Each structure stands twice: as C-alpha cells, then as structure tokens.
Structure 1
C-alpha cells in the first residue's frame, strides 16, 4: 500500500463523515474542545450508523494494525518504495510509535466516534432490542479503546455543549462495559438473522473476553504482573458455557477454513458476531485480508504487503490443517491455498507464477522489515475469495462474512480461565478443551497444557483475527524480542499513547506512562 492510498482513504472517510453524519473533526469536538457537533447531526436514533462505524474494523490499518503488527505473528516489510508509508508499519512492529503516529490517532477517532454514536442511540431508543444492540456495540468500541489506550473519554449526549468530556480510567471503563453487556444480554434475542446483528451469545462472548482481561485492565501496574481473581475466571466459564448452550459448535475435521470462506454465512457453526456480506452488498468486505498479502501476479492481484514471522509459522505441525490446505473450489481454480503461503506460488491451471522480474515467485521465510524483495515473507490467506466460472476473481462484493467473535475463541478462553483458577461446573479441564480443538485440526493431542502451551494454541487457532496483542499482554509476553525486534521493549508499550491533540484539548485526559 502506497502512502498516497492511505491519504486518499482518509480523505474519503472524512467526506463520508461530513456528508452522512455531520461529524467533520468529530475527534476535536467530542474529545477535545468544549464544543459539540450540531444538534441532531449524528442521527441520535440511527442504529445503522453505529453498525456502519464498526465496519472500519475490517481495514488493514488502524484497530487491526494496532492489534497485530506489534506482535509475533505479523509485520509489514518495506519493499523498495512500496509500503514505506513514512514508517507507519515498521514503527508498530518495533514498538517505536509516538503520540503523533497516524494510526494511533486515526484509531482513537474511529473508536470514539463509535462510542458516541452508540451512546446517542442508547440515550434515545425506547425499544429494548435496539437499546440492547446499541449497548453491545458501545461496549465493543469501549473494549477496544480500553484495551489499546487505557482511558475512555465519555460525553453525555444531554450535557451542555460547554462541558469538557469526562474521562473514565481503565477500571471504571471496564465496569461500564460490563454493565452495558449485562443489559445487552438481558434484552437481546437468543438468535439473530445473521452474525451482523448482535444477539445474547455475542454479549456473552464479549463478557467472557472482558472478564478474562479484567486483571489487566484493573492492575495498578501497566504491563503486569497481573493477578487473576477466581471470581473473574468463574465468570469467564459461566459465559462460555452459556455460548455453548446456545448451540455453537466447532467445525468438524477438515473444515477449519469453513468459518472464513465465501459461503461461511451458511456453512459456519461457530461464528458468533461479525459483519454479514453478500455478493450484492458487502459493506464490510473481508478482501483486505487477502489483498494485503497477495503478490501482484497472483489471482486476484494483490498489494504484496504483510507477512507472518517464520518462528510463528514454525509453531504449527505439518499435519495441522490450520497451517494451510488446498481448498476445494479455490486452489484447483486459481492456485491459491488457504492458510499460510510459502514456497513456489501457482496461478490458474496450476501455472507456476513469476515475479515482475521473471524470477520464480517463491515466498521465503526470510524477510527484512526495512529492505525486502517482492517475494520475501510468508503470506497468510485465512480469508480468501470465490473464483468465478472462468477462474478469475472480482472481489468487490465478496460474500465472506467477517468474523469478530468466534466459538473456538470462547472455548480457549474457558480453558485459560480454568488454568488461572476458575472452576467449571460441567467438569471440563483445560486439557480436554484444548485437545477437542486440536484433534479435528489434525494436530497431535497434548499430554498436558500450561500457560505457555495455552498462549501458543491461541496463536495457532486465532492467528490474524485481531486478538494477538491482547493475548500477549495478558500472558506478559508482549514485550519479548521477536524477529526484526531483537530487544525487549518497555512495559509501557502495552498501552498506546493518547493522541497528542486529544491531550492538548481535553484537560481530563492524562498522557499514558512512557510517552
């Protein structure tokens, strides 16, 4: 992705905000100076506007980038003049961002706009279902703000325009999120038409995640050590069991990628909440997830960007389906495999592909963050497009539902909670849960499981789904050295800085330690 594309995308975003919701410079008006958006500009009862704000989660930048690039499973190498982007990707991987980093700023804006839009609906809605959906969405936006930044600015829609937004600290905001989700659970329906509409299981799944991370969010020390309360771990287990009781299941053997394929709306058994896309309407298309790694000469052509790290790839057994498979209707048509792509790449008809120079297109485990060739780095295709009858791809309206909350994640959270002292009234152990996930994937059952094994298994099951930073912090591994970041970083890096312009305009915001 060239810098000019990022700038263009930001400009388009601004125009959409201005035209559709009257939210130009909303970050300053809501979370900086004392003024507020014009009365009625944001559509206080428009639930659709809240969902629309959530669609930004599918972007390869911002929230997703902040949660993935600083970890042991993703990096964005610079390839000649491609993907330089003033160092935005390199700074994330090397933990060298500052309070003026563009994606730190943009993510703050996107998430807090979502909080405010949801708050308007919560405030005005009278229908319990609409209020419950808005409460769930607000909780999700707040969860991301609390996880990334550790503080939550909040404005009552009915407050005088002269009021400076108050700020909840991390523990206060966590309690607020739990209250929102409890309301959502009580008022949402048990089922919904598709994963794009929140239901009880969505609230329960997010409650499990919040309680699992509560020790991080209420710790007096940034970055740990953390003390996990048994009562919190029991809550994780309680909500995980409720999700199981709702009927969600793991995909059977050989069907791991069914959760991410073009027909996952119909075929998935474990997708709980995300964004519903169809061939006629894909407001939150998953195509970024394959375009950001595909080479220019693959089908479809890609941006030739992000890679995984060799050590992460090597953590998979060769028999583990999650590492990569030939996917029917995909590989036989356009040559693309589901999962990790390494070695010689192929196109339609099994043709061996070449680089632009004419050399064989061989993705290598070796990759340099600052100086890479166009073929270096293992690519990842967890989501993938549907080829047409003539073995081409037009992915403008890809039907893959984009997944945020998934049943396998909930089960692994339950297993972790048991390891951390929780008690399952159903009598399951962490080991039985982990092996119930590993076995159908073709991975060897484990003889025992500890926290180290648990973190590794979460990586193998949930790679590139936007949870790795969250996991590494909870396991106190986020600051460890990784490939292209040879030295340990300070624990203050477990929080991003509050954007400098927000600190400058709202005296209730205090800059995070280390910045």
Structure 2
C-alpha cells in the first residue's frame, strides 16, 4: 500500500506558491464565473465552495492528519514487508526524524497555504457578510493548523501583484490574526446551519476556545515552552465553551458514544459542531480512509492493513469503557467488525473467524514493530465505520458518515482544562465535575481528583484518532517523551515542523525554525 495524495493543480504553480501562499493563477476562477483576480469581481456562494473543498483534504490519512497523529503516543504506521514502506515517511513521523524536505511536511504546507489564499480571495471580493464570515472562519482554521504545525503563517494579499513576495506573520501575530477572523465570523455567522458542513456561530466559538487554550504555546518565548497560561485566556476558553453549551449541543448519552461517527451521525449526533457533510449520493469528504487505513485485506470491507495504536494507549482504557470498543448494531452482527479498538481474533460475516493471507488466524496483537511487522501485528482502530448492506456487502465509496472536526465533548474538556489552569466559570462548574460528565456515560469510573496527567489521558480517551493528540501533548509538555518504537526523548524543537526547504529558498521573509 502506498500513500494516497490529494493533488491540486495549484501545487504545480510557480514561484509564489513555493514562496509560501499561492501562485498568481491560484484557482483564479475558483468556482465562480468571473476571476477573483479581477478587482471588479464579487465573490458569491459558488466561490465559497472552493474554500470548503480545500478543507476536504483533512480527511486524508496523510498530511495534516498524519502530522498531528503519527508523532504521538496513540498512532504509528508500521512497515509490513513491502507494504507501507513509502520511503520511510510514516516511520520518520513517529520517530521525530523528519527533515525540511519530508514529503508530508511539504505537502501539508502547500495545502494549508492554498486554503488561506482561497479564503482571502473570497473575503476580499465578498459583499455578503455571511459569505465573508464563512470564509473568515475557514481562513482561521487553515491558519490555526499553520500556526500549530509550523509556527509561521505566510500571507499574500490577493490584490497584490503576482510578483509580490508573501509577508510572514510570526506565531503571536498569526494568533491575533485568526482570533480577529473568528470574532468577525462569530458576529456574522447564523446561529444554526443546514448541516455540519456549513459554519455557524458555535463553530467559531468552539475554534476560539481552542485558540485561547493554546495561546500560551503560540506566544511562548521559547519553542516547546515553558508555557504560562494567562487567566484572561482561560476565562475566554470558558466564555466560548459556555456559548457553545447555550446553543444546545450536548454529550451523547450512555451507550451512544459511537453515534457521533456512525453512518447516520447527521441525524443522531447531539454534539457534532462542524465538519464535512456526506450522504449516500454525495460524499465529497468521505470518512472511508479512517477505517480502510487499518482494516485487513480479508475483513469486510477490505482495507489497506496499515496504521495501529500503541499498546500503552490501548491499555489506558478501563475494560468497562465503551470507547474502548463495542459490538455495534447493524455493523457487528452483519460483517463482524466492532466499533473502536480491534484486538485479538477478528471475525467476518456470519461470525466466521478470519485468517491472514497465509492461512494463520487473523489475530491482532499488542506487539508491533515499526520497521518489520507482520500483517496481523498491531491493534487497529475503527472509530468511523461504514454501513453494511443487509446481504453483508459494503459499498463505502459514498458512505454517509459526516466527518467531524469540532465536537462538543472536546469543548467540555477544554473548559475543564481552562478551569484547572486558573480560569473562573461564572456557572460554577468544576474541572472535576466536567471531566466526570464525559467519563461516566462511557462506563468509566468517576475520578475523585483531577490533575494534568488525568486531564491529558482523558482527552486521549475521548478524542483518540480525531487529529488533536499532538496539539494536546505539546500543551501538557509531554510530546517529546519516549513512547513505543521511540525509546529516547526528543528535543523540544520537534514541537514545530520545519518550514519546507523550497519555501525557505524562495521567500526571504521566511526563517527556518529552530533545530533544523
């Protein structure tokens, strides 16, 4: 299995893209009828679709998602014979040995900067404040990922001449920039939207809470800390979290954790705030990568037999915790697949015990080797899963699972963390009560006390494989700790990725990050 890539024609553009933000002809028509390079053009809803479509790359198993998950304590991509070697791209992420020429470091930079530029085009040309607000929210999201991953944010004004070199915002400057975008978005977005794929006020509020929670990381004097969490910032996290709660989002009831990710989550979820809307007839941002990347070739549906979790992470769950894995009605009884973590003997339709290609039992083991694994080694994760047909077949090309980026349980835990870090909740809730409000419905034992270690671990158990783990580990000062297959601590400079070498070479405003 080789890595799949989303290829945009923009990636073959010339100097300005290499310089950082997009070339002169970068989607000059977007999806409208008149080029947004034309100063007389007005951006409409069709142009906004071009910005949303750039966001769909977040569902790929590579790039942004891989950079946020593979270097952590909850994911690795082992090489299995000739499968998943890919010139070491996955191994280098897990072992923190990437360089400024790493393919995913470069591709992610391109994708995020294209997103910023597309959104800026719409913001500059839109007259409708709702369209402008949606584009502002999307630009803030792309900027958030740039700030989080790379610590710098190039910016090219769409009205500037093609020969202009993009300016570069420092990490604190870019943080202030995305806060301003999100404040505008919150003011001008509607309170509700037609579906999860259209930004509303709660989406802006949820992202604002995340920005303020991480502001200490983004404004620290030294890469990797130490971090000073200002009470004013923690109070902002709480303020925005309370607004999301007031909008009516709730946690899933007991026994319903996986309905946030199932094929009918559009109708069943109480807590999904923003993501990508998919149907059985149109799935532009299908979640199928999330199950295919771990499924063995002989499972239903068949998969790519790739990524695994780490045994220590799996063992951090109590056996009673629903999030560890359950038989899911309409899934397990038809094709044998369970929701959550998959460990031990695997089964197919009719509860038939499955085998490997060699004929040996398909028994997923805790033991896994990053460099030399067999096809059955490693615990797999199926947080998203397809809807089987009654006859046991699965057509997952148009799976209707909405793909989730912002979720209410994340907001609740962010509020708890902000209170733990010195923030004041006008509603009088405590960090302990909020964490237990997430744990208890899942069948996990309630905590009697809360501290940094428990808070970080609970965020992992609730949000595993959703693309936030690296961000959390850095904020808690644990990103560089040894984990399975990475026995030694790494330097704090690894909390930022390098600026791609070709971007540094072509934009004198960019400065390479420390340690590279």
Q: TM-score range by the shorter chain?
A: over 0.9
Whether 1:173 aligns to 2:174 is yes
Alignment match, 1:37: 25
User: Does structure 1 conserve the Cα–Cα contact (< 8 Å) formed by 2:14 and 2:23?
Assistant: no
Whether 1:357 aligns to 2:345 is no
Alignment match, 1:436: 437
User: Does structure 1 conserve the Cα–Cα contact (< 8 Å) formed by 2:133 and 2:188?
Assistant: yes
TM-score normalized by the length of structure 1? 0.96
- C-alpha separation in 2, matches of 1:55 and 1:279: 17
Quote how far apart the aligned CAs of 1:71 are.
0.0
Alignment match, 1:256: 257
User: Does structure 2 conserve the Cα–Cα contact (< 8 Å) formed by 1:31 and 1:153?
Assistant: no
Alignment match, 2:239: 238
Quote how far apart the aligned CAs of 1:32 are.
1.2
User: Does structure 2 conserve the Cα–Cα contact (< 8 Å) formed by 1:30 and 1:165?
Assistant: no
Distance 1:27 1:134, change over 3 A: farther
Q: Please give the secondary structure, in 1, of the residue aligned with 2:284.
A: coil
Alignment match, 1:133: 134
Alignment match, 1:185: 186
Alignment match, 1:366: 367
Q: Please give the secondary structure, in 2, of the residue aligned with 1:492.
A: helix
- C-alpha separation in 1, matches of 2:359 and 2:218: 52
- C-alpha separation in 2, matches of 1:492 and 1:308: 25
Q: Please give the secondary structure, in 2, of the residue aligned with 1:49.
A: helix
User: Does structure 2 conserve the Cα–Cα contact (< 8 Å) formed by 1:62 and 1:107?
Assistant: yes
Whether 1:25 aligns to 2:26 is no
1:146-225 aligned within 5 A: 146-225=147-226
- C-alpha separation in 2, matches of 1:433 and 1:466: 22
Quote how far apart the aligned CAs of 1:101 are.
0.2
Alignment match, 2:381: 380
Alignment match, 1:20: none
User: Does structure 1 conserve the Cα–Cα contact (< 8 Å) formed by 2:172 and 2:219?
Assistant: yes
- C-alpha separation in 2, matches of 1:232 and 1:189: 25
Quote how far apart the aligned CAs of 1:38 are.
6.9
Q: Please give the secondary structure, in 2, of the residue aligned with 1:405.
A: strand
- C-alpha separation in 2, matches of 1:397 and 1:159: 40
User: Does structure 1 conserve the Cα–Cα contact (< 8 Å) formed by 2:17 and 2:110?
Assistant: no
Distance 1:35 1:427, change over 3 A: closer
Q: Please give the secondary structure, in 1, of the residue aligned with 2:181.
A: helix
Question: CA deviation digits over 1:157-188, x for unaligned, max 9?
Answer: 11122221000000000000000000000000
Quote how far apart the aligned CAs of 1:25 are.
2.5
Question: CA deviation digits over 1:218-245, x for unaligned, max 9?
Answer: 0010001100000000000000000000
Distance 1:406 1:27, change over 3 A: farther
Q: Please give the secondary structure, in 2, of the residue aligned with 1:446.
A: coil
Q: Please give the secondary structure, in 2, of the residue aligned with 1:157.
A: coil
Unaligned regions of 5+ residues in structure 1, if any?
Answer: 18-22
- C-alpha separation in 1, matches of 2:411 and 2:211: 11
The root-mean-square deviation of aligned C-alpha atoms, in Å, is 1.2
Q: Please give the secondary structure, in 2, of the residue aligned with 1:312.
A: helix
Unaligned regions of 5+ residues in structure 2, if any?
Answer: 37-42
TM-score normalized by the length of structure 2? 0.96
Whether 1:337 aligns to 2:325 is no
Alignment match, 2:117: 116
- C-alpha separation in 1, matches of 2:14 and 2:175: 22
- C-alpha separation in 2, matches of 1:376 and 1:389: 30
